[in-house]
Structures are given as structure tokens and as C-alpha cells.
Structure 1
Amino acid sequence: MQASHDDDAPGTWTAQGANHATRAQRITGVVAIVLLALAGLWTLRMFLPALGWGVILAVSLWPLHVTAAQRWPRGQKLVLPAVFTLLVLLVFVIPLVMVAAAVAHDSMAVTQWLAQAHAQGVPVPDFVAHLPYGDHLVAWWQQTLATPEAIDRLSMQAHKLHFTSGEKILGLVAHRVLLVSFMLLTLFFLMRDGARVAHALRIGTRRAFGELGLRVADQAVLAVRGTVNGLIIIGFGEGVLMGLAYGFAGVDHAALLGLLTALLSAIPLGAVAAVVLAAALLAAAGKAAAAVIVLVFGGVVIFVADHFVRPVFIGGATRLPFLWVLLAILGGIETWGLIGLVIGPALIAVLMLLWREWVGAHQGPLNPAPEASLPQ
């Protein structure tokens, strides 16, 4: 082994001789490395969500950091990482905390309403009878929701509704604060040392998988960046705008509906369902003019976001068909939790790239040799 002048730089140590390890020794070494990696992940399992979100945010913000570092090279080791971390805190964390507080308040009201509905049933609203096929809707409502017995038949787990104790809420809040703190800390160090980390990962990926591995890794980075920028940030913006619109229009539980709009906006046409729901609640309360305004404003916001803003943020490399976006988001959340909102589309985007290369639709390492034309 021989080292250059910078012993810490990735790739400066290179093997000068052949590896004389036997096949059994190589297999044993690989098994030991895998076991050590699994042990490390198990040790850090409590903080993996925080580390994952820190990596995701760093990947998403890295192009902006590079541009800022080119204009101000002196600040790239301390000032710029601190500025970007503070930016995430001010733009995402603090607004999310405020939304979470409002949602918690609304959720308590909703939980109380559900508990009351479980005890007394939900009477049929007057406007239902005036809707098309109102008599059938009234009959269905009376059979399904009007009595406690009907609600029990609808949901066998209705008896599990309960209020979370104050001590448990404080424990959950303290745990979330700890995870957010480590996420911000991870983001700071990645913004400071991101170039070195990325260089080391590229060297390791090339040694392990060759150019194909680098191609897949680059696509994964683009997929994560496109998912964060195109789904989460745009969805967050839609949720904030529509939440404010709901509040001004007088919709009950505006914060909860705003959060629902933000979450559903990741799914194609999902935000439309949330806007229609808010307008329906306004119409049921006798506020027809406000319902129309919410529908029109929501339509404009969704149209601009889906047709102008989101395509610019996502880019062509990570676009997925409607069905795959839906399956990737829902499957990702089901499998990985909230972070699956990013992991799911990123994984499917990488798999889609490999498939398109394999069938020769895109240029890449997996492109098959041209097949001879079939006889006519």
C-alpha cells in the first residue's frame, strides 16, 4: 500500500500487489463485512429516520449549495452549511411544527366527534335528502352510520378509540424533537463535507459495481432530488396555500384539510379530492359562494403546480407514469413509513431506468446488442 500527501482523501491509497487471499477467505471477509454492517444499522436503528431525512435534504439542496459555494468559496466549510441548515429549520421545520400543533388540535376535535359518533351514531344531515337519489342515500346512511350498532358493524375496531395521555404525548414530542435535531446535525455535516462523501461513494460504487453501478447511483440521486423537489416541496406549498384558503373561507378544521391536501398532492389528482371535500363541507354548511371560490382557487393552484412548476422541478429523468407514481408512493409509505414518500418513487425510478436500458429504449450500460430484424 502506498499513500499520497493527503492521507485523508478518498482514493489516495491503492493496492500495489495482487490479492493473495483464498476463495474461502474472501467469502469469510464478505460475510464478516455484511454482519458488521447489519450490526451497525441495528445499533443506529433509532436514528435511521433522522439520518435518512438528513441525506435526502442534503441531496436535494446540494445543487444550490454548489452554486452558492462558487460565488462565496470562503463560506463553504462553515457559513454556507449553517445557512442551509437554518433555511431548512425556518422554511420546513418551524412551519411543520405550527401545522402539527394545529392538526393536533383539530385531531382532538375529530377524535371527540368519532367517540361521540360511536356512542350515539351520526344523524342523517338534512341536505342528503335533497341530493340526487337522496332517498337511497338516506336509507344507506341510516343503515351504516345512524346508530352505534351500524357503526360497530362498519368498523370492528371502533371500541379501540381512546385519548392519548399527556405523558405519552410529551414523550412523543421529545422523541420527535430529538430526531429533528439529529436530522439538522446530519444535514449540516453533509453540506460541509458532501463533496468528499460523494467522491468516496463514487469510488466505492465503481470498485464494487463498475460503471453500471455509477449509472444507477446517479439515477438514484436524481430520483431522490426530483421526488423531494417535485412532490414534497410542491406538495408542501400547495398544502400551505390551500390551508390558508380553507381558513379564510371558513372551512372547519382547515389545518387538517391543508395537511391532507399536501399529502394527497403527491398523488396525481389527489389534491383535487381534498379541494372537492373542502368545497363540499362549505356547501353543506350553506356557504355556496365560498365553496365556489375554494374550487376555483384550488383548480388554479393545482393546474399551475402540476403543469408548470412540478415538471421544472422533477425533470424528465425521474418522471414516472401515473400508475407507478401512485403505487410507489402508497407502497413506499406502507413499507418505510413517511420517509417512503421519497424512497418509494426513487426505487421505482431506478428500476424503470434499468428496464428502459435493458429493452434499448434509453442509452446506457444495460443496452442489449441490436437484434437482427425479423423476417417479414
Structure 2
Amino acid sequence: MTDQLDHVSGATLDEIISRKLIDLFIRVGLIGFLVVYCYYIFRPFIGLMLWSVILAVAMYPLHAIIARRLGGQEGRAATVLVLGIMLSVLVPATLLIFSFADSTHDLIRQVKSGGLQVPAPDPAVAAWPLVGGKLHALWNTAHTDLGALVTKYEPKLGIITKQLLGYAASAGTGVLMFLVALVLAGIWMAYGAAGHGVALAIAGRMAGPERGPALVSLSTSTIRAVAQGVIGIACVQALLLGAGFILVGVPGAGILAMLVLLFGIMQVPALLVSLPTIIYVFYTNDSTSVAVMFAVYTVAAGSVDNILKPFVLGRGVDAPMPVILLGALGGMATGGIIGLFLGSVMLALGFQLFMAWVYRERDARAGLETVAK
């Protein structure tokens, strides 16, 4: 009799455990299905939403200043800020993008038609070490018979042409995404206090109530440091140099400005682009005074990052250059022009969060030692 009761009791316990496991698997399956389905629905907008959040976090201090001037009206302050950025930044950037597309189209047309005239090489080029002879021969061939040179390198030029046209289309798409992201960023800033509360709640759920605020603070400072100190300064530098290229009439001014922007984000000196343009202007411009003024302006505009970056990055997190470089290159390879910005910010943010986790115990011990003293 006792054995039968034990058998019944054991069977009942097994059934209860089985039912609980089945319920658990069903719940986990349903939650997993919901998460995956929501991801596939939201996937086309992930880049746009990330971009808008980055813009909102980066611009929020300026939004707070405007809101105080307007008597605490968050919505009106966000509207004023978004419209001001569209007028002061977006218009020159749009002109630069159109110049880039026009320069690409004109360059391709001139190369195909043979109307592109390459100036004669300087004899001193042949005396350059290692590459002087080959460079002078190639330059001289381009000067005397550009058509033969184009025919020789036609397959490679075709690949480059497709890439340039792809970058031009990506740049136009990036401008449109920036417009939409800027409007969304204005909405996020208008509800900044509520959004900050949600961020604190999520971070507290992920890292605990004690480390949650520190996680939010670190993420905010990293985004602002990279967005303002790296991407923002690179955009200013590209706009200044691009305006100088257009005014002097440098061929492919839009392409050169986009190269300056790319190099600026990758922390590569703009001198790699500005120095050849200075040499070109000195060789082709009839007015020496114009060439000298262009050289002075180009050197000053190319050095703006050395002046502004210490002020901006000094107040935030100085992300290492290789991290910014890898993020920019990887983001551009996967997401085009818009990925160039997102990649650098997101990889820098991930790096800072990872390093904060690595050194968390050390910082905690240092804090305890400081309190003890």
C-alpha cells in the first residue's frame, strides 16, 4: 500500500514538472517568436532610429539652452533647433552633395569623350625617389594621349566609375535619411526628460539600480564626444575646404570635399587632399595672389580640427583613433555614407562600455580606497 502511494505521488510530481516545463517552453517559444517577428518588422528602421537617437543625444545640451531662453517650452525649442540646423548646415551640405554628384558625372563624361586635358608633368617629378620615373611616364602619357591611357585601364576605370556613382547615390540617400533622422531627433528632444527616465529604467534593469545611471552617463558622454568631436568637426572641415575648392574652381570639388569628410572621420590629416589641390592651383591659376590666398585659406581650414578637437573631446570621452577608423570603414562598407557616421559612433560606444566593464572592479576598489582615506 505504501509503495502504491509513493508511486502515485512520484507520478504526480513528474506530471507537474512536465507540465511546468511544457508551459515554460511554450512561453519561451512565443516570446522568441514575438522578438524575431518584431525585429524583422523593425529592421528597415534600425539605422534611422539609431541615427536619430545619436543626433538627439548630441544636440540635447544646445536644445536645453534654447528651451531655457524660451521659458521651458521643449517642443518649440526642438522646432527652432531643427529648423536652424536645416538652414545653417543642411543647405551647404546639400549643395556639397550635388557638387559631388555633378563632379562625378562631369569627370566620367570628360574621360569618355577625351575632353579632359591633363597638364604636362614637371621634369622634377622624374627625379623623385622610387616612384618618380613611373609617375612621370604615366603623367606624360595622360598629357599626350589620354585616350590610350583610358583604353589601357578601362576595366579598372569601369569599376571605379561604378563605385563613384554608388557613393554619389549613397550620399543623396544619406541626406534624405539625415532629414528624417533630424525630425525624429527633434521629437526625442521635445520629450527629453521622459526619454532619459526610460533610459535609466532600461539601464537599471540591465546593469542593476546602482550601475544603471553610470551606464547611461557613459553612453551619453561617448556619443556626444564622438558625434561632436569627430564627426561634427569633420563635417565643418569638409564644408570649409569644399567651399574653397568650389570658389577657386578646382575640378571635382565635391569629390575632394567628400574625401576630406571621410579622412576627417578616420582621423587622417586633410593635408593628403588639400596639398595636391594647392599644388594644382599654383600650376593652373594665372593669378599668384589668388593661389597664395587659397593656400593660406586651405591650410587654415585644414587645421581647424587641431583647434576645435581639444575643446570638444576634452569635455567627453577621447575614443581611440583605431576604434573610430574601424567603425567608419566597417560602417561605410555595410551601410554606405550613413553607415560611415553610425559605425564610428556605435563602435566607440561599444568600446567604451566594454572597457568600463573591464575596469569596473579596479575603479570600485580605487573608490573605496579614496573613501577610506
Please give the TM-score of this superposition, normalised by the length of structure 1.
0.73
Contact 2:226 2:319 in 1 (8 A): no
2:319 is aligned to: 320
> Aligned ranges for residues 201-212 of structure 1 at < 5 Å?
201-210=199-208, 211-212=210-211
TM alignment of 1:169-180, pairs within 5 A: 179=177
What code does the residue aligned with 1:296 have? Answer: V
Q: Which residue of 1 aligns with 2:134?
A: 136
Q: Which residue of 2 aligns with 1:97?
A: 94
- In structure 2, what is the equivalent of residue 299 of structure 1? 299
> 5 Å matches for 1:109-188?
109-116=106-113, 125-133=119-127, 134-140=132-138, 146-152=148-154, 154=156, 157=159, 179=177, 182-188=180-186
Matching residue's letter, 1:235: A
Aligned length: 337
Larger Rg over CA atoms:
2
Q: Deviations over 1:236-262 (max 9, x none)?
A: 221222222223333223333233323
Distance 2:156 2:175 in 1: 37
Within 1, Cα distance between the matches of 2:270 and 2:110? 25
Q: Does 1:79 align with 2:87?
A: no
Counterpart for residue 104 of structure 2 = 107
Provide structure 2 residue ranges, at least 5 long, that are not aligned to the other structure. Answer: 1-18
Percent sequence identity over matched residues?
20
CA shift, 1:126, in A, is 1.5
Match of 1:358 in 2: 358
Contact kept? 1:47, 1:179, Cα under 8 Å: no
C-alpha RMSD of matched pairs (Å):
4.0
Aligned to 1:255: 254
- CA distance in 2: counterparts of 1:176 and 1:153, whole angstroms: 28
| Partner residue in 2 for 1:58 | 56
Give yes or no for contact 1:219–1:350 (8 Å, CA) kept in 2.
no
Report the Cα offset of residue 346 of structure 1: 3.8
| Bigger fraction of residues in helix | 2
Give the whole-Å Cα distance in 2 for the aligned partners of 1:345 and 1:163.
26
Provide, for residues 214-243 of structure 1, a one-character-per-residue CA deviation record: whole Å limited to 9, x for no partner: 434432222221122112222222122222
Q: What CA distance in whole angstroms lies between the structure 1 residues aligned with 2:165 and 2:237?
A: 31
Task: Report the equivalent of 1:9.
Answer: none
How many angstroms does 1:149 deviate by? 4.5
Deviation by residue 1:137-166 (Cα, 9 ceiling, x = unmatched): 2335578985344304645736969989xx
The residue type equivalent to 1:268 in the other structure is Q
Alignment-mate amino acid for residue 112 of structure 1: R
CA distance in 2, matches of 1:23, 1:316: 52
The structure-2 alpha-carbon separation of the partners of 1:66 and 1:29, relative to structure 1 and needing over 3 Å to count, comes to farther
* Shift in alpha-carbon separation, 1:198–1:109, aligned structure 2, 3 A: same
Structure 2 residue identity aligned to 1:40? C
